[in-house]
Amino acid sequence: MINTATTIVTFLMVFLIQNTQSRDTEAIQIKLDELIRATEQANNALMDIEELDEESLDAFRRRYEELAARSRKS
């Protein structure tokens, strides 16, 4: 009986924690989207970057790695 109750409580706690993390992540994403939108020089294509396929994400990553490398050199 105790094992069953512990298992149920554990399952509910995991569900609650995952739900909270999901909401928190979504809120952070919305805030970042607003910052990108409000910044004049920002690339608005980044606002929905999480929706892109792996190949497109790799292309963005390479581009920004190159920009970072150039920035470090200058």
Tens digits of residue pLDDT in 13-61 = 999 999 899 999 999 988 988 888 888 888 887 888 888 899 998 998 9
Residue whose C-alpha is closest to residue 32's, from 19, 22, 46, 21: 46
Q: Confidence band (pLDDT; 50, 70, 90) for 8?
A: very high
CA torsion, ordered 60, 66, 71, 74, to nearest 10 deg = -160
Boundaries of every domain in the chain: 1-42, 46-74
Q: CA-CA distance, 48 to 4, in Å (whole number)?
A: 43
Q: How many CA atoms lie within 13 A of 36 on its CB side?
A: 13
Q: CA-CA distance, 22 to 59, in Å (whole number)?
A: 27
Give the per-residue pLDDT at 45. 79
Q: Confidence band (pLDDT; 50, 70, 90) for 69?
A: very high
pLDDT at 11 over 90: yes
